[in-house]
């Protein structure tokens, strides 16, 4: 006979781990279906202030803060050699009354901190075998794991990634696309301080984005044509260092790459629905796009806060179908607009069509010159729908995350 849970969370990555903690924080019992990750994750993630607040509420932030660096200025520089080049644009956190936009966090330490918190949380039971099948019934979802273990839950939060078995079992299809780009990621030390400034160079092959880490170190996401990847990965260390310094116009002085290089083909996809029956999609299970504009995991964490809010507002996991319908409606505008925006920004950067280049450079010039428009862009980038946000509403994210903590804690 299968064990019954309030919620099953499938996927043991960053989004799945946060989803499990957020559900358990409400006092719900959680089956955390989380196979070990295939490899060490050398990437970093820039999390904005709302996401940092969520990690803090879940008791995770203190464990990772020292490994993170604040982002106080986000700067865009035109690194193309095109006829129409955009002027520099800088977005500064103090313009919208913030100490920082957020923090850049190494993925692996964040993942490890989340796992430690999960292991110490009484309402979470972890299963290391992946999901094999999920069958929705009148009163729940019957789950079978690859090792034959049967489980049942009132509902599922699916966070098992782009190739989600859970999403397929729920009958939700996706629209997917690819780019003629590959992202190379690495970290490097540099002679000059970054002063908490993240710089995105726009190049003919896509963004070349430096993001601060503690000390005189930064992470780098370097979009290149797929045919150039092997050559870059095989460069001798001295040549690679010189190549990166030159691409950055030496704004951080001499650089030294201090991590292995990893590469990821750039692609995107979006689910045709963000929930069905008793299943909600969160994180890359529902949407995935290139690492541009600090949107990926931040969007996934907003999925989670809205999923929890929808379940609470519906009356708990036993009212899953009502919660899923509300969640699906709530996420469409945010996810759809962010996905379309990132796709457009990337494609506009890649095009050689002169009128589009003129529009891109002109748009950035306006953002840099018109203060109110720049403030609007920053506020909307940080908090979608900020004008209509109602932070005191009982179903807001901060009211939803609370209750049962680590083993031995009391609600």
Rounded to 10 deg, the angle between the 296-314 and 14-24 helix axes is: 30
Looking at residue 349, its pLDDT comes to: 56
Looking at residue 84, its pLDDT comes to: 52
The whole-angstrom separation of Cα 246 and Cα 112 is 35
Minimal CA–CA distance to 47: which of 73, 68, 74, 66? 68
CA distances from 57 to 21, 51, 88, 306, 401 (A): 10, 10, 37, 15, 7
* Domains of the chain in sequence order: 3-176+266-400 (3.50.50.60)
The whole-angstrom separation of Cα 217 and Cα 257 is 9
Looking at residue 296, its pLDDT comes to: 80
Handedness of CA 308, 312, 316, 319 (dihedral sign): negative
pLDDT in tens, the chain (411 residues): 578 999 999 999 999 999 999 999 999 999 999 998 877 888 899 999 899 999 999 999 999 999 999 999 988 887 665 545 566 788 888 888 889 999 999 999 999 999 999 999 999 999 999 999 999 998 899 999 999 999 999 999 999 999 999 999 999 999 999 889 999 999 999 999 999 999 988 888 888 999 999 999 999 999 999 999 999 999 999 999 999 999 999 999 999 999 999 999 999 999 999 999 999 999 999 998 877 655 689 999 999 999 999 999 999 999 999 999 999 999 998 888 878 777 766 656 554 444 444 444 545 554 555 456 555 555 656 665 544 443 333 333 334 444 444 443 333
DSSP 206-241: EEEEEEEETTTEEEEEEEE-GGGHHHHHTS-HHHHH
């Amino acid at each position: 006979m299968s064990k019954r849970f309030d919620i099953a969370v499938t996927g043991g990555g960053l989004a799945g781990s946060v989803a499990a903690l957020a559900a358990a924080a409400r006092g719900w019992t959680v089956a955390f279906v989380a196979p070990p990750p295939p490899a060490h994750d050398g990437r970093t993630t820039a999390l904005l202030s709302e996401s940092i607040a969520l990690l803090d509420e879940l008791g995770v932030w203190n464990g990772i803060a020292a490994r993170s660096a604040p982002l106080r200025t986000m700067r865009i520089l035109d690194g193309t050699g095109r006829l129409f080049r955009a002027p520099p644009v800088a977005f500064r956190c103090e313009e919208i009354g913030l100490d920082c936009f957020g923090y850049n966090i190494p993925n692996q330490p964040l993942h490890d901190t989340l796992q430690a918190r999960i292991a110490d949380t009484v309402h979470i039971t972890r299963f290391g075998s992946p999901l094999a099948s999920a069958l929705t019934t009148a009163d729940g979802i019957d789950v079978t794991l690859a090792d034959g273990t049967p489980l049942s839950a009132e509902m599922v939060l699916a966070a098992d990634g782009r190739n989600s078995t859970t999403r397929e079992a729920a009958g939700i299809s996706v629209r997917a696309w690819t780019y003629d780009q590959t992202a190379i990621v690495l970290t490097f030390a540099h002679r000059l301080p970054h002063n908490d400034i993240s710089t995105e160079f726009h190049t003919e092959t896509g963004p070349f984005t430096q993001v601060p880490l503690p000390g005189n170190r930064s992470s780098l996401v370097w979009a290149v044509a797929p045919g150039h990847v092997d050559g870059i990965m095989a460069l001798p260390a001295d040549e690679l260092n010189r190549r990166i310094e030159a691409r950055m116009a030496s704004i951080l002085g001499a650089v030294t790459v201090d991590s292995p290089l990893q590469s990821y083909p750039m692609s995107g996809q979006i689910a045709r629905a963000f929930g069905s029956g008793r299943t909600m999609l969160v994180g890359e299970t529902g949407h995935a796009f290139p690492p541009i504009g600090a949107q990926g995991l931040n969007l996934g964490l907003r999925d989670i806060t809205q999923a929890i809010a929808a379940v609470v507002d519906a009356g708990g996991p036993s009212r899953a179908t009502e919660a899923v319908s509300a969640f699906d409606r709530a996420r469409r505008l945010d996810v759809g607009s962010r996905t379309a925006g990132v796709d457009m920004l990337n494609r506009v950067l890649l095009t050689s069509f002169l009128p589009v280049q003129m529009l891109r450079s002109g748009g950035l010039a306006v953002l840099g010159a018109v203060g109110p428009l720049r403030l609007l862009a920053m506020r909307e980038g940080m908090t979608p729908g900020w004008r209509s946000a109602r932070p005191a509403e009982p179903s807001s994210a901060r009211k939803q995350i609370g209750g049962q903590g680590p083993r031995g804690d009391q609600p």
